[in-house]
Structure 1
Amino acid sequence: MLKEKMHIAVPTAFYEDESLNIQGTIEHIKSLYSQGIQSVLVCGSTGEQHSLTLKEKLKILDDLVAEEELIHNMEIIFGVSSIRQKEAVELAKRIQPTKIAAILLGYPPYILPAQEEALIYAKKIIRFSQKPTILYNNPKRTGFDLSSESIIELSGLDLVIGLKEAGNTKRVLSLKREIRNKNFYFYAGGEMQLEEKVSLGFNRLSSIAGNIHPLKVKQWFIKMVSKQTITEQEKLEIASLLDEIYTGSPLAYVKKSINEKGITMGVCRSPLGNV
């Protein structure tokens, strides 16, 4: 079970020619760890996962697992999704014997599987990974919307511990009533409309802004979910930060900010970063 209420969805570092720079990604994770962050999501968010080949994903996994201090002291979540189920299963098999803490299970873009097909896809990946699993529903990006009935069915599996919902956030209210596992977590994807999402029942955060100001964002979120007072000054600082990040391409802004701190995060794979 994952203990951390917030993880940071870290970007993947690339060189100027858009080839993979794994060391840049690891350097950024080390920086977050040195600042007190205990959980990150790798290869699972910020819009880059489907630009990575299976070979690149396996290389990221192998190099990350070799970082003993990180792998033993952090909750590292690894994104598993592919337009081809066989490739997602192969990645899941490679994750299974490692110290990776959990997987984020996304759904294939574009091909629009039926709900039954998506259930089989999910169950196979979970079976081969044998890791705690967060389901990731993001219909705006993939075109596929995991139904409430499918979420409830998958929540009955022992390894399924939560849902990252980027679709109909309001259905969290009904899902909380219908899912029997009371320790089932609801992850907000990013910080936009976060107060509203918390009021609907979201109780965990997959953070983008935390890449730049990790402790400030974490403190803000922890106060929010624990119903502590958030000062007007804190609200103004967070609002300013979110305006900077979410005006335009958040990923391009995050990478630019990390580069400016002296960590080689590099570029986005085009067309992201064209502007």
Structure 2
Amino acid sequence: MEQLMGTGVALVTPFNEDFSIDVNALEQIVEHCIKGGVDYLVALGTTGESVTLSKTDKQLVMDTVIKTNAGRLPLVLGVGGNNTAAIIEDLTILDLSEFDAILSVSPYYNKPTQEGVYQHFNAIAQASPKPIILYNVPSRTGSNMLAETTLRLANNPNIVAIKEASGDMIQIDRIIKGKPEDFLVIAGDDFNALPTVLAGGAGVISVLGQGLPNIFSEMIQLGRQGNSDDAYEIHHAILPIMDMIFEEGNPAGIKSIFESLGLCSALVRLPLVEATSKLKSRISSFLKSLNRVHA
């Protein structure tokens, strides 16, 4: 899956004032990412507020991303949840012809055992017409998919990668050390994207990367080339904004970047709330200072 190497970005879903999907803004964001040099696009992930989108909303997002991308970059679609049967049904109904892979989150809320997590993903992989990227994000799901479970799943031929967002570099190292050669370990957190790449990971599915595609993609590319000094120079330069965009939750922070860039509003759907004016001001000031340095 060479398509999943490098910098993927978890696209936001922009909203109009009435909280309908802002199609024009989504088109602009896709263009911003493509022109900025990212390697692939991920639609309807957590950052896309997928849990508060209707089926009609989701289809509109899919159609807009497909049309705007026009075959230029690989596409990944988020299809996950805590109801295994419902996910399998979605995978049989959805037109996935334009997507290269499925991103599927580890089951949340009902907190299955490791065997339950394994059986869940095994069933999805058997039903999916597209390769599966596992997504481990304990801070959201309430349970951690252990390295042993990931490595067990990595032997399934239709499970090709993991987006690992445990924040635990020891766990990430264990997966990298024990994985099959063609199984990809993709960073799921911006702050450890570079360390993951330097440890042997394939890249990142980033939140910040869609707001700062040029500089973030350059950092990952340098890391993949083994140029750790220059890569860490960029990492340290953008570390403050990595923290800022998650201070009041995701995607409130990244949408504030897009508002500052004039690409979309900062609106999010309840139960999320828009970033405070204080945070927006700090983000805007940082972007201006960053542009002066990296112009």
TM-score of the superposed pair, with normalisation by structure 1: 0.85
Amino acid across the alignment from 1:19: S
- What code does the residue aligned with 1:38 have? D
CA deviation string 1:190-223 (max 9, x = no partner):
3214444345443311111112210101101211
RMSD over aligned Cα, in angstroms? 2.6
Look up the match of 1:5. Answer: 6
- The answer to whether the Cα contact below 8 Å between 1:25 and 1:265 also exists between their aligned partners in 2 is no
Q: Which residue of 2 aligns with 1:137?
A: 136
Change (3 A) 1:35 1:231: closer
- 1:78 aligns with 77
Aligned residue pairs, count = 272
Name the CA shift for 1:58/1:254 in 2 (closer, same or farther; >3 Å). Answer: same
> Which residue of 2 is the match for residue 45 of structure 1?
46
1:92–1:126 CA contact under 8 A, matched in 2: no
Structure 1 residue 189, shift from structure 2 partner: 1.4
Q: Which runs of 4+ in 1 moved over 4 A?
A: none
TM-score (norm 2): 0.80
Unpaired stretches in structure 2, ≥5 consecutive residues: 277-295
Q: Could you tell which deviates more after superposition, 37-46 or 235-244?
A: 235-244
What is the match of residue 259 of structure 2? 259
Q: Does 1:104 align with 2:103?
A: yes
Which stretch of the first structure deviates more once superposed, 135-144 or 112-121?
Answer: 112-121
Identical aligned residues as a percent: 22
State the partner residue of 2:87. Answer: 88
Q: 2:286: which partner in 1? A: none
**Contact between 1:77 and 1:104, CA under 8 Å: does it hold in 2?**
yes
Q: SS where residue 24 of structure 1 aligns?
A: helix
- Show the counterpart of 1:170: 170
Give the counterpart letter for 2:49 in structure 1.
Answer: E
Question: Is the alpha carbon distance of 1:47 and 1:108 closer, same or farther for their aligned partners in structure 2, counting shifts above 3 Å?
Answer: farther
Q: Does 1:242 align with 2:242?
A: yes
CA distance in 1, matches of 2:125, 2:62: 17
Q: Partner of 2:47: helix, strand, or coil?
A: coil
Residue 158 of structure 1 corresponds to which residue in structure 2? 157
The match for 2:285 is none
State how far apart, in whole Å, the 2-side matches of 1:139 and 1:224 are: 26
Give the distance between the partners of 1:18 and 1:116, measured in 2 at CA.
40
In structure 1, how many angstroms separate the alpha carbons of the residues matched to 2:75 and 2:187? Answer: 18
Residue type matched to 1:40 in 2? L
Aligned CA distance change for structure 1 residues 207 and 144 (closer, same or farther; 3 Å):
same
- Determine the C-alpha separation between the residues in 2 that align with 1:118 and 1:171: 17
Moved more, 102-111 or 55-64: 55-64
How far apart in 2 are the matches of 1:131 and 1:172? Answer: 25
